Copies of this chain bind each other. A is one copy, B any other.
Amino acid sequence: MLELTPMANILDAYLSILRSQGFKLTPKRRSVIELFIKEKRILAPQDVHQMLKAVITPLGIPTIYRILEELSSIGILVPVLSDNRLLSYALCGKPKVHHHHFVCRKCHNVDEVDYCNFDAISKLIAKKLGGVVERHSLNIEGLCIRCKE
């Protein structure tokens, strides 16, 4: 019994999140999500536009910016600061479950990391600084298994 998750299923999961948040299922939105699933790496708005405009016509840049912002607002994408100091996005495979992303500095491949022992830091901040932690994000960078040689 295979454990593969067909891309169609992954996509469906995202599309149902979209719908549940009151967004319509348009070809553009669908294509953006598909692209992130397929590429499995962080992408800047310009990248997305570049890669999709060949397939989807017409496709305006403002649309891309809008879609990325929407997807990010409902947790399907997460904003990431890329090497070139540009706002980029990574697909977030588990919008509801807490986790982090390991980004390869060479091929920009993204893997998800479940483990997060964050309570300790959170408590430390409450104790030493008196602040309340609301969110945190961990950027893990290195070389993925394919690029490391």
Nearest Cβ distance between residue A72 and chain B, in whole angstroms?
A: 9
> Could you tell me the distance between the alpha carbons of A130 and B104 in the complex, rounded to whole angstroms?
12
Contact A113 B132 (CB under 8 A): no
Nearest Cβ distance between residue A45 and chain B, in whole angstroms?
A: 10
Q: Assuming A138-B139, A139-B139, what are 20 further A-B pairs, CB within 8 angstroms?
A: A79-B81, A79-B85, A85-B87, A87-B87, A102-B125, A102-B133, A105-B134, A111-B129, A113-B124, A116-B121, A117-B120, A129-B144, A130-B148, A131-B143, A133-B140, A134-B141, A135-B142, A136-B138, A136-B140, A137-B139
> Could you tell me the distance between the alpha carbons of A64 and B135 in the complex, rounded to whole angstroms?
30
A-B CB proximity, top 6 nearest: A130-B145, A133-B142, A134-B142, A81-B81, A136-B140, A131-B144
